[in-house]
Amino acid sequence: MKIDSKLLGAALIASQAIAGTVLAQTELEVVSWKGAGTEVAEIPTIIKKFEKANPDIKVRLNYMARNDMVTSIPARMQSGDVPDVVMVDNEFILHWGGNGQLEPLNGLPFVERLQPSLLPYSGLDSTIYYAMLEVSGKGVYTNDDLLAKAGIESFPETIDELVVACGKLNDKGILPMLLAANNGGWTPYVYFLAMGLTDGDAPDPDRMEKLTSGELKFAGDPYMKGAFEGFKKLIDAKCFDPRISAGTDPWSVALTSFQAGRVAMLPQGMWNIPTFKKDTLPENFSFYPFPSANSDKAMVMDYNGPGWAIPTAAKDKEAAKRWIDFWMQDENLQIFVTADTGLSTLKGGTSGLPAVAEAYEAARNAGHVVTFPVGRSFPAQLGADMPNDITSFMLNPDQDYTQILERWDQTAAKERQ
């Protein structure tokens, strides 16, 4: 049979066109401060998995330190040369979302999968601007061998129980706790908020917003007063040495002191779990919620983590939406939260926390949780003043804390003007 060369040529051209269509790929630029360096977090693995499921999309990961994004991304937004997807947190949402530079995501399927308690932190007012990937948290690390040596069989839920535990540790010559406050007063501030934002076993998540808006007054708030009184109890019980704590850096000396077995308890973030496990120091440790001054239950402190957002001027929003939807499925997100030692933001999502944080996770699941305030409606000046004032009180607990609370009310009022 004679083959018509013209028909054959046309068929070849058609097949090449079809092949070209199949191979054509959209390049999706993703800018992230995770995925490389010391924060790989299995993002390259997820990218490969995404590209296999979406062969028409090629991901270009542009790794950038978070602090560099503060200036780089706004400059690109001004020029019109924006990435398709950017990693953001609440601070970026406040500025970029508030300026109309981020795409509203309310209609995307992931919104229905998010834990309802996280929806208010995923945007501004009722507009969702980012898909939050994880919740990190803050609590208390314990050297379990030192607690056992002092005869402490269970971790204290309340300040009064903690005072008893501190007495047992001191009797054995063991320093109970470090509230490392050098370089910003971070640890006392965190512990104070864990107490002061607690108004019961299931705290009101809007308490800080009510305090900064003027609906409630710091100076008239019994729970903020209870936090100061809780601090005084800890100091009187010698749970920590204020001067040693004030001179200790939370990001270096405090961590090595805990790892070396020089202190039984250290308030810090769960992001240190991988380091402690890798170094196998201390040999036996756990991560617990904060003993409470205003409740019968210990409280965890959520720290809302990063997530994905789409700039309004993104070149390929549909590909960007597919990227977000892919990440916000448990089989994919669990890879990230496990590598990053975080909690899933999805309803019933797989946790990334190891067994050392079982008590922490149980408390959070029971609703014994407050949220660390940052960005959004939290006044920047108040966020700067509070750590300094709390550290000052730690060093001089005889001062009238009502005056401190009144100053916070004045600062909040100025920020509202």
| For residues 288-292, average pLDDT | 98
Q: In whole angstroms, what is the distance from residue 237 CA to residue 185 CA?
A: 21
Count H helices and E strands in the chain, helices first.
18, 13
Domains and CATH numbers, the chain: 27-133+305-328 (3.40.190.10), 136-303+369-416 (3.40.190.10)
Degrees to nearest 5, angle at CA 115 with 110 and 121: 90
β-strands 369-371, 300-304 pairing: parallel
Give the DSSP H/E element, type plus range, for residue 410: helix 401-416
| pLDDT value, residue 38 | 85
| pLDDT value, residue 21 | 47
Give the DSSP H/E element, type plus range, for residue 5: helix 5-23
| pLDDT value, residue 377 | 67
What digits encode the pLDDT tens for the residues 168-198? Answer: 999 999 999 999 999 899 999 999 999 999 9
What digits encode the pLDDT tens for the residues 326-377? Answer: 999 999 999 999 999 999 999 999 999 999 999 999 999 999 999 999 866 6
Q: From residue 279, how far is each of 258, 259, 260, 272, 341 by CA, in Å?
A: 12, 9, 11, 11, 16
The tokens of 174 are what? Answer: 């063991």
- Work out the mean pLDDT of the chain and round it to a whole number: 93
Neighbours of 9 (CB within 10 A): 10
| pLDDT value, residue 376 | 63
| pLDDT value, residue 16 | 47
| pLDDT value, residue 19 | 45
Q: Check: CB of residue 391 under 8 Å from CB of residue 235.
A: no
341 in the Ramachandran plot: left (φ > 0), alpha (ψ -120 to 50) or beta?
A: left
Q: Check: CB of residue 276 under 8 Å from CB of residue 263.
A: no
What digits encode the pLDDT tens for the residues 217-270? Answer: 999 999 999 999 999 999 999 999 999 999 999 999 999 999 999 999 999 999
Q: In whole angstroms, what is the distance from residue 153 CA to residue 147 CA?
A: 7
What digits encode the pLDDT tens for the residues 143-156? Answer: 999 999 999 999 99
Q: In whole angstroms, what is the distance from residue 145 CA to residue 105 CA?
A: 48
Phi, psi of 27 (to 5 degrees): -90, 120
The one-letter code for the residue type at 171 is D
| pLDDT value, residue 110 | 98
Lowest average pLDDT, out of 16-25, 175-184, 198-207, 211-220, goes to 16-25
**3: pLDDT strictly greater than 50:** no
Give the DSSP H/E element, type plus range, for residue 411: helix 401-416
**Residues ≥6 apart with Cβ < 8 Å to 249:** 180, 182, 183
The tokens of 200 are what? Answer: 């019961």
Give 111's pLDDT tier (boundaries 50, 70, 90).
Answer: very high
| For residues 37-43, average pLDDT | 92
Neighbours of 125 (CB within 10 A): 7
Q: In whole angstroms, what is the distance from residue 190 CA to residue 212 CA?
A: 17
Cα 198 from chain centroid (whole Å):
18
Helix/strand/coil percent split, the chain, to 5? 50, 15, 35
| pLDDT value, residue 374 | 80
| pLDDT value, residue 12 | 46
**165: pLDDT strictly greater than 50:** yes
| pLDDT value, residue 395 | 97
What digits encode the pLDDT tens for the residues 375-384? Answer: 666 888 999 9
Q: What is the pTM (predicted TM-score) of this model? A: 0.91
| pLDDT value, residue 126 | 92
Percent of the chain having pLDDT more than 90?
90
**2: pLDDT strictly greater than 80:** no
Q: From residue 170, how far is each of 1, 147, 150, 253 by CA, in Å?
A: 100, 11, 9, 21
